[in-house]
Structure 1
Amino acid sequence: MPPKHKGAFPHLQRKRTEKKQKKIHRKAYLYNPYYNQFINIYLMQIQLVSTGKKRFLPLLLLADEQESMIDRYLERGDLYVMYDELLTEPIAVAVVTDEGKGIRELKNLAVAPHWQRKGYGRQMVEYLCQRYQNVCHTLTVGTGDSRMTISFYQSCGFVYSHTVPDFFTLHYDHPIVEDGKVLKDMYYFSRTLTQTNETNG
């Protein structure tokens, strides 16, 4: 049998090259900020949940650690759950509320610990922006004075809007600590979506 040499099976090399390119492109969509608007939403399954919302409380508490505060917006808001490709495990959750006058607010966004830092939080944000772009003109989000969280939302296209003083000290029954800092004020950021005629949606 003649020895195998480089280039003997060009069709196999071509398949390996195509597979490698697809893998690179997939990572680019998920992690490169220049491709945010083209993220492949189909990689994971995102579902709107209308009943039994409290079963996702463990995930919701990762972003808002007081259950009574979650109760204020969970039932009136839209709950979205991201599952893995086999629909066996919830990866992330998000709650969006209607604040009137064409404004929706992202009240809660949480990613399961072992799924964090893999682009799924950003993927959820982009999904929500696409979903609501024909319903409202602005998506807002409030957060404490956490450099990591603020940087995340800014990288997702949100810009600073305003501050609500003493929000955490007035509304929570215990100190909320993030990044080693006791949170006090709520900082609001907003992202403009496609303008529509349904400004009251």
Structure 2
Amino acid sequence: MKWKSLVAFAALFGGAHAADAALLLYQLEGTVPGKYTASFTLDTDRVPSISIPNNSVRYNGVPITFTRPNSTVVETAAYSNSGPTFSVLTSQGGVFLGYLGGFPTQFSVYGPQLFTGTTTAPVFLTGTFGLSDIPRNRTTDPIQVNYTLTVTDISSAVPEPATWAMMLVGFGGIGTAIRRRTITTRVSSAA
């Protein structure tokens, strides 16, 4: 009997673990009028498209919306292998959004490192980060712009399938335990 209980306990609680997946919302906003903003979401379960050790993590196919400060959507780009990417830089910190071959709507901003772990298995940080760009042409665009990057976990609190299975087995076990009880009823009759 003890062996069966041990197996049942292991089956119920062996599959329970914390949820690893999260959906993160990235919002990048500049502090100077005339600069673009960008927003996108990233599923943390997604495998990086390219991982360069101690350099960067790159994700292709990330839909990014670029917006002007007057809320006009400039472009929504679904990044692909041939076009733009979302890269998180580790050696310098910060983030790059845009076509690698050059595109007018892109950001290359620097600041703190935005994830922990390795470039093959990054763990993304949430919170608010101060970033700044480096002017490409100090003669025509000499202003260094500061940006605020806000990373928010927008995952819903829906249990994972293993948690649902554990709950169903638990309720079934309670039902079985109640049903197995034998209830004796005594009937007394007046004779």
Give the TM bin, normalised by the shorter chain.
Answer: under 0.3
More strand by share: 2
More helix by share: 1
Task: Give the alignment's TM-score, normalised by structure 1.
Answer: 0.25
Decide which structure has the larger Cα Rg and report it: 2
Task: Give the alignment's TM-score, normalised by structure 2.
Answer: 0.26
